[in-house]
Structure 1
Amino acid sequence: MPERVVGRRLELGTLAGLLDEVERGRGQGALVIGDAGIGKSTTVAAFADTARERGYVVAWGRCPETETLPYWPWRQAFRALGLSTVLPEDPGTGRTSVFAAVADQLAAATAQHPAVIILEDLHLADGPALALLPFFIGLLPELRCLLVITSRDNAVDVAEPAAEALRALPPSWVRIPLGGLDREATGQLVTQVLGEDTDTAYADVVHDRTGGNPFFVQELARWHAARGTTSTETPTGVRQVLERRLARLSQPAYDVLATAAVLGEDVDLEVLAALDRTTTAEVLVVLADAVAARLAEVDGARMRFAHSLVREVVYSGLGVHRRSVLHLRAAELLAGLRDADPGQVAAHYRDAIGQPDAAGRSREFALRAARAAQRQSGYEQAVRFYRWADLDDRQVRLELGEAQVLAGELAAGRDTLRAVAQEAAADGDAPTVAQAVLAMGGGVGGFEVDLSDTEQTDLLASVVPQLPDDALKAAAVARVALGRIPTDRGDGPRQLADEAVRLARATGDARAEAAALAVWCDVFAGPDHVAERVAAAKRMLALATGDLALLLLARRLLVVALLEQGRFTEADVQIAAFARAVLPLRLPLYSWLVPIWNGMRALMSGRLEEAESCIAEATRLGEEADSVNAPLMVFALGAALANTTGVVAELQSYVETVTLPFIGNPMIDGPSAYYLARSGAVDKARGIVRRRVRDGLDAIPKDAEWLESVAFLGAAAGVLGDDECARLTFDALTPYAGLWVIDGVGGACLGSVSLFLGRLAAQLGRPEARALLDAALEAHRTAGAETLVMETEKALAELGAVHTAPGTGVLRRLGATWEVTWRGVTVHVPDSKGVRDLALLLARPRTPVSVLDLSGPGRVHGADLGPVLDEQARTAYRERLRELAGDLAEAEDRNDLARAEKLRVEQDFLTQELAGALGLGGRARSAGDPVERSRKAVSMRIGAAVKVIDGVHPALGRHLRASIHTGRQCVYEPEDDITWHCQSTAGASLGESSSTQSKQEGQHDHDRRQQGRPAGR
């Protein structure tokens, strides 16, 4: 299908099929009908291109709106076909003989070349043109010709002679009605005009306004492009087309449409008749003209405009005064109906500009509409109507602020409520202060409370003594307890939470008790009270019936507690119930949690693409909600995904944007240390771990984040090989072996505590490591957590390989990558010659290997290429080494460990280069020396391989830098006894020996060499 034609594939296919019949010698006819701008000309023009490609001659004739010579469209077509017959200027002269000549010439022309004749806009054809049509149709079966006619199809635009001619077309003719484009095709057409970055939402707006009419779609898109914003104006070209159509209506029909335009796009006929001061039957009679003109539709008891643009043009054509009078009459009429929509009434009064009492009545009905929308959780509509109401009223502003918060306008809503609270405090209005502060967190339960805003808590605490012992006071005390958590590390928040629950139960108010229990769950968060929180959340569910905010809060608290207990099936039930309640309402404040939880479960099950999609959705909804918590949970899920897939670059990004600003906060130390270590910032990670070990774990608040923080700290200890931290975290986590580590409100599931304990036990060489990992494996399998099952199985495999010994490693080739396991952490690196060299060295610890062996057999060595380094280079190297000695001493004096390490690396490199460049007696070594040339190549590729490993596994990278020595002989010399299992391909082992064995084997090799016997491998 030609690129310029959108959404007409079926119609073009139908026309192309007719060409097949023509090629069999049977002429065909087709009628393409539709509204103005619907795409008739574009469609037949695209078809004409297809016909030309198939060898057809294409002839066009167009019926103009202005007066022209008789037979004008036929004249154009015949001229294009090369016919010499001249049609008479007097349509009554010699018609029979002229038509006969036309027939002969048409037969001859089409016999030579098949033809397509296109007659456009037949609804404008004059009498002679219409008279020739039946004659041509009679000839058509004998011609190798396809005749395509286009015409409009509404009674206003099609004159009766043309309509009669169209009705008289043979039944064998193919009729192709064109309707509006669907949403997808409309979007494609808008994209053609605006480019690839077109907003889908804008394309949907265009479709709704135009009904998919291609001409109108393009006009609106061009209008939008010219102004750079979404405009509600009607483009001039569209207005002119519709005004011409409207001008052909009878005056009564136009007047009814004008009245209907005031009521809206979809109008009740009884209301329309009452507003027009007539009867429904009379309205239907008058509307018949508009329906025939395809400007309106009648369906049962309702009338609809053909599309929004028709209503817009009719409405804008009314004078300001007439519009205002009609709006006032509509408002009064609707206000008197029993089931009147207060929002509609308010809008009509609001548009009755200048009419008596209209403004006051608009505010009255706007407040009714706002409160009705609030009750039905239509918070965005509520905000709109509250803004129409009387904002001088403090109660109205209080309700507006509450609706803004719930609609996702957190910052604006809290500003509104803060102003109300401060004003009420100045007047001594304690209840209003309490209501305003509670609303700042999303209602009495507090779905999203800004705990950093101490002003809220202080303001609320100042009025609590002035409140009677009622439900409001219970909710206020509970919120004060919640607000004290960041600053009061003692029992104060817990005592207040207990007091709030007692107060609420004494009042017998279900909402108050549910709100108090919600805060109680937050205050008593942490691993010591999981079972109590499950019970409290379930009681909330029973109490919160009818209150959506409290019900959702109860489900959120229950989901988290169930996840911590590993009860994933029950948690999934609650997640599904939460989603069913939230998603239809499109409330961003609550909705962002759904993709977070779905993403967490997808990641557990190994559905990585789904998890990534959920992250994007949660990000979008969190931004719409203006939520502080959403980005944190997006980070948690994203970091877990990056950790699972080993994408170090993403982990670095998370560290830089999220954890770095919080380094020093005991609660953040664990995640910070782990992600820093995994992303290569080993020194920073080690500094955090050592500080936390020195200061102890008591500084970490034992709240919702404690288990996660300590577990991450233990994981960091594993990456860094810090046994002291491993012992500290193992002891702290041991009482909670049956729980699961959950990030925040379910941002990520990091696994059962048993997994963390099992890894720590393996690192420390404790005998319970296997039992702990077995328990973790069973828990992960029961939960269907495939990624965690794989992780646990790896830990068990490593444990089995080392037989609980602390020093072990695995280097195994998997096609184009190598799997490297060290100290309980498995990473993957790409295959390279350097990694293969490492595999050979690690398989033979403390056994020197010649660089020629590493270079491979059969190597062809070239001639001597001169000295490795010339005299000038050697002098420069020595000078730089003297500078480095001074710089290194200065760095060590200042305790600048990072700079010192960099200087040592450069110093070692230059020293090795000089050593490699000099032979016996300090003489320059030849670059052509095959051993020397291999030494440089092997050293460089081993160094590159170690650098790659260091990027994904810093602890192993550091170990290899300290243990691998390169030169003419390369050797792996670990400080401790290490066992490596190295395998180059499936089933091809490079060796599996410990460094203790290799000490002995190395000595035996030395003895055999001394005796002149060949050394064994």
Structure 2
Amino acid sequence: MTGMDAPAKDDPGLTGLGTEPASDLETLLGAATRALVVEGDLQTGRRRFDAAYRIAESTGDARAMAVAALGFGGLWVHEHRTVAGSALLRSRLRHALSLLAPDSSLALRLRVRLVGETDYRAGEHAAILALLDEVRPTADPVARAEALSLAHHCVLGPDHGASRRKLSVDLVAESFRTARHSDLLMGLLWQTVDLFLDGDPHAERRLAELRDLLAEQDHLAVGFVVSAIEVMLAIRAGRLDQAETLTRACAERGAVAGDVDATVWLEGQLLTIRWYQGRVEELLPLLGDLVHSPKLSPVDNHGLAALAVAGDRRKAVGALATLCGRDLADLPRSSSWLVTMNGIVQAAHLLDDVETSARAYELLSPFGHLPMMGSLAVACFGSVQHALGVASLTTGDLDRAVEHFHAAVQQNLALAHWPAVMASRQMLAQALARRARPDDDAAARRERAAAAEEAAALRGAGRPGDPEEKPPETEATCARQGRKWRIGLGRRSTLVEHSIGMFHLAVLIANPGQEIRAVDLVAGLTALDGAVGRSALSEQPTLDRVAVHEYRHRLTGLRAEIADLESRDEHEDAAGARREHDWLVTQLAGAAGLGGRLRRFAEGDERARIAVGKAIRRALQRITDADPLIGEHLRHTVHTGLRCSYWPT
């Protein structure tokens, strides 16, 4: 059906349904809720809730229709981007609402979703905030949590900072009443996004807390956003080559989660990278498609602004005219507004459009203290002061331009956004040269020299060099030492118990800056020497014989370890060892085919992604417990997904 995924024939939540509609329906709703709420699997959740709604509708079960319609809406607002998909969702919500008592909790939740969807599409927030006030006194914590999160979606513009910060704090508090891990994750995610949008110097602290929660229990949808923020941070750090590699892993994670923004964010992040590389014109074909993509939110105009900057004069004039419309002030104040306005300012500068520059300056002036962030902090173009400086340069106010570019350099330094620092220094030098006061020439030379120095540093950033070229404290080491592994970082080192995750980490650490497929990591030790760069290892056995031997040897050790831990009443450690034991048993069982022969992968990539991700997260937790500094380094530099990698700085 248009606007949603077709049911998957191999979805275990949709197979085995019998002839008892009532019991089947409850089973299906439970499976759908687990997929969406617990696992963050948006795509599987949509499929299952769609199937549940159809069954409920055929049996006239109004309560189940309401639950299924709510779940079909998803975790985020406006997940159904096509006209057909959006209309189907609204139709189901309204139909289910018409069948319920108006004062019921389910009816209130349906109203919240309907109003949230409507406000978001219109770039408004008054109705959802008013309805939130109605929800707050109710006895249903799930209704309150949903209303808080949906309302937060509608206040992501630059003038909504105080409102959204309160919503995210309230959502974290509400999560302890719902007892749903996903509500806590969403609350912390919104807090993290809020801090980045505000340019808060402690935003990465909240991100680290969110990473720790995800390490305890993964959530595909939230994890995707975290990986996108990590791409943004790599760009800020000037590691543009690494950031481009990370965009692919991030997009893959978004696709696995079923997030409609996976492709849009990939294109936006590539645009950011190319902008700072001075190669944005390479993306013209992509931008032409992006502008008309149905996957874009109706309040997202950044693609058109980018096209105005990257295109020829005729395209730039047309795109700018479309954006300006009757008045620039009419553009919705969404999460992409600052990025869009920056594109407008840059295009107006290229076209010497003084009138548009003056209007853009007027609209941007109240937000000079903010960074120009896109969406949920997944892209950053530096301080708004830079855009104000460009607009002033276009209008001919050179004193004001110099003042804004000075401020932009300082704010971009505070953001640790090195490509933006360089860009602001270059524009400051240009403004000083044009102003031409007695001391301006020397000041312009200083800024150009500083920009050139930073550009030289950026040219090498993010490209893995030879090990001897790197400071020793920036790269970890990992070596087997008897039954344990010694992890080192500079002068620090610690011993960690052997586990399958340590095998995987050892391979990644031995190949810094290299992407290794998860399926190749699972394939076993003998395949790893040739894993990097091999195009198709899915024909290998699921586990090779050396790996099977290692797994069986580890199983024997785990059984003894479990018995020893239980005899000493160390039940928590015993439970952890038992989880690893059970995982290994599953891997060995999955590797065996007819007659005990090693079976080859059928669904290798996805199974490997899950298995490797879990194993590495367990290993990282053990390392962090043993040495928090080394653990923190690895949490920031080890990336998992369909492809895994270790990127030391």
Query: Structure 2-normalised TM-score?
Result: 0.59
Cα deviation, 1:232-254, whole Å, max 9, x if unaligned, reads xxxxxxxxxxxxxxxxxxxxxxx
After TM superposition, the structure 1 = structure 2 runs for residues 521-920 of structure 1, keeping only pairs within 5 Å, are 521-545=152-176, 546-567=179-200, 569-583=201-215, 585-648=217-280, 650-661=282-293, 667=299, 669-678=301-310, 680-766=311-397, 767-803=399-435
**Identity over aligned residues, as a percent?**
22
- Structure 1 residue 423 displacement after superposition: 4.3
Q: Deviations over 1:646-691 (max 9, x none)?
A: 224642243134235479998555542434432x433112112134
- 2:92 aligned to which of 444, 456, 459: 459
- Conserved 8 A contact 1:758-1:772: yes
CA distance in structure 1 between the aligned counterparts of 2:282 and 2:259, rounded to whole angstroms = 23
Distance 1:612 1:432 in 2: 44
Matches within 5 A, 1:136-215: none
Q: 2:133 aligns with which of 493, 496, 502?
A: 502
Does 1:416 find its partner at 2:55?
no
State whether residues 673 and 686 of structure 1, in contact with CA within 8 Å, keep that contact through their aligned partners in structure 2.
no
Aligned-pair CA distance for 1:419:
3.7
- Output the CA distance in 1 between the equivalents of 2:157 and 2:68: 30
What SS does structure 1 have at the residue aligned with 2:335?
coil
Q: Provide the residue aligned with 1:484 in structure 2.
A: 118
Q: Deviations over 1:100-134 (max 9, x none)?
A: xxxxxxxxxxxxxxxxxxxxxxxxxxxxxxxxxxx
Give the drift of 1:622. 1.6
CA shift for structure 1 position 730: 1.1
The one-letter code of the counterpart of 2:96 is V
Q: CA deviation at 1:693?
A: 3.6
1:469 pairs with one of 71, 92, 103? 103
Quick one: distance in 2 between partners of 1:484 and 1:770? 43
Tell me the amino acid that sits aligned with residue 658 of structure 1.
Answer: L
Secondary structure, aligned partner of 1:526: coil
SS of residue paired to 1:685? helix
Aligned-pair RMSD on alpha carbons?
A: 3.5
- In structure 1, what is the Cα distance between the partners aligned to 2:296 and 2:413? 37
The answer to whether the 8 Å contact 2:302/2:336 transfers is no
Contact 2:264–2:296 (CA under 8 A) maintained in structure 1: no
**1:773 and 1:395 mapped to 2: Cα distance?**
60
Q: Distance in 2 between matches of 1:476 and 1:656?
A: 37
Distance (whole Å) between structure 2 residues aligned to residue 572 and residue 598 of structure 1: 10
**From 120, 143, 147, the counterpart of 1:516:** 147
Distance in 2 (CA, whole Å) between partners of 1:610 and 1:755 is 25
Residue 704 of structure 1 aligns with an amino acid whose one-letter code is S
| Structure 2 residue aligned with 1:450 | 80
Three-state SS of the structure 2 residue aligned to 1:632 is helix
In structure 2, distance between residues paired with 1:459 and 1:587: 27
Q: In the alignment, residue 596 of structure 1 is paired with which amino acid? A: A
Larger Rg: 1
Structure 2 contact 78–117 (Cα < 8 Å) conserved = no
Counterpart secondary structure, 1:751:
strand
Q: 1:617 to 1:488 in 2, by over 3 A?
A: closer
Does the Cα contact within 8 Å between 1:526 and 1:706 map onto a contact in 2? Answer: yes
Deviation, structure 1 residue 597:
0.7
For structure 2, list consecutive stretches of 5 or more residues without a partner in the other structure: 1-7, 446-450, 453-458, 460-649
| Larger RCO (CA under 8 A, 6+ residues apart) | 2
8 Å contact 1:451–1:483 — kept in the other structure?
no
CA offset digits 1:556-581 (Å, max 9, x no partner): 222222122111x3321222222222
Contact 2:165 2:191 in 1 (8 A): yes
What is the letter of the counterpart of residue 463 of structure 1? A
Match of 1:108 in 2: none
Q: 2:285 & 2:45 partners in 1: Cα distance?
A: 32
Following superposition, the deviation at residue 747 of structure 1 comes to: 1.7
Q: Is the 8 A contact 1:481 1:494 kept in 2?
A: no
Distance 1:507 1:628 in 2: 32
Instruction: Give the aligned length.
Output: 425
Q: CA offset at residue 408 of structure 1?
A: 6.6
Q: CA deviation at 1:591?
A: 2.1
3-state SS, counterpart of residue 527 of structure 1: coil
**Does the Cα contact within 8 Å between 1:527 and 1:704 map onto a contact in 2?**
yes
Aligned partner letter, 2:238: G
CA 1:562 to 1:695, structure 2 compared with 1: closer, same or farther past 3 Å? same
Closer/same/farther in 2, CA of residues 579 and 663 from structure 1, 3 Å limit = closer
User: Matched residues in 1 for 2:51 and 2:294: separation?
Assistant: 31
TM-aligned CA distance change 1:613 to 1:692, over 3 Å:
closer
Q: Deviations over 1:369-423 (max 9, x none)?
A: xxxxxxxxxxx9x974774565732121222333444657645542432243244
Per the alignment, do residues 684 and 667 of structure 1 end up closer, same or farther by CA in structure 2, a change over 3 Å counting?
Answer: farther
Gap runs ≥5 in structure 1: 1-379, 814-818, 821-827, 829-1017
Task: State the Cα deviation string for residues 736-755 of structure 1 (Å, max 9, x = none).
Answer: 22222111112201122111
Does the C-alpha gap of structure 1 residues 637 and 729 become closer, same or farther in structure 2, counting only changes over 3 Å?
A: same
Residues in 2 aligned to 1:441 and 1:571: alpha-carbon distance in whole angstroms: 29
Deviation at 1:538, TM superposition (A): 1.3
1:397 maps to which of 9, 22, 28? 28
Matches within 5 A, 1:104-503: 384=12, 387-388=15-16, 392=21, 393-405=24-36, 410-411=42-43, 413-425=45-57, 428-442=60-74, 446=76, 449-452=79-82, 453-464=86-97, 466-467=100-101, 469-485=103-119, 488=122, 494-499=126-131, 501-503=132-134
Secondary structure of the equivalent of 1:506?
coil
The amino acid that maps onto 2:133 is R
Cα distance between partner residues in 1 of 2:170 and 2:358:
39
